[in-house]
Amino acid sequence: MGRAYESSAIWERLMRIAFASDHAAIELKSTLAAWARDQGHDVTDLGPETDARVDYPDYGYLLATHIAAGEADFGVALCGSGIGISIAVNRNPACRCARVTDSLSARLARQHNDANVIALGARLTGPDMAKECLAEFLSAAFEGGRHAGRVDKLTHPVIEKESA
């Protein structure tokens, strides 16, 4: 949306944000974590610490466990495309992870889907756009209303068989 997010005054409250990535996204993870700290948020970096090859599911599961345990308000998951780690995070029913590519998708993930984690692809999203995505995600609130029942179905899925 082109808005500048350089002042922590836009935040109604400071948030606990956990970050996790694979080796392909370690640089973007560090950039976003530093930016979030500069905004005054409480940041937890769940790793990895180096660019040595790791498997994104391990870090996606770690982030999901952290969110499910209430140890962070929101999470940021990163890998090369954002796809693999988002799938890993979403294996935990307490997590609603949305892979986003722009600030609008990041805002709608919160407003319509009550996402508590966003996923970004370091090979596909530059640092400035990633900061915009994170800022929109953190500043948006779940709208509830017509979306609440749908989100409840995501948290408590019921698969019904069709009649033969």
Q: Which amino acid is at 163?
A: S
Q: Give the integer Cα–Cα distance in Å for 29 and 80.
A: 11
* Residue-by-residue DSSP string for 82-121: SHHHHHHHTTSTT--EEE-SSHHHHHHHHHHH--SEEEEE
Does the annotation mark 97 as catalytic?
no
Does the annotation mark 79 as catalytic?
yes
97: which strand partners? 117
3-class secondary-structure state, position 128: helix
Q: Give the integer Cα–Cα distance in Å for 79 and 14.
A: 26
3-class secondary-structure state, position 63: helix
List the catalytic residue out of 23, 41, 79, 97.
Answer: 79
Catalytic site residues? 79, 112
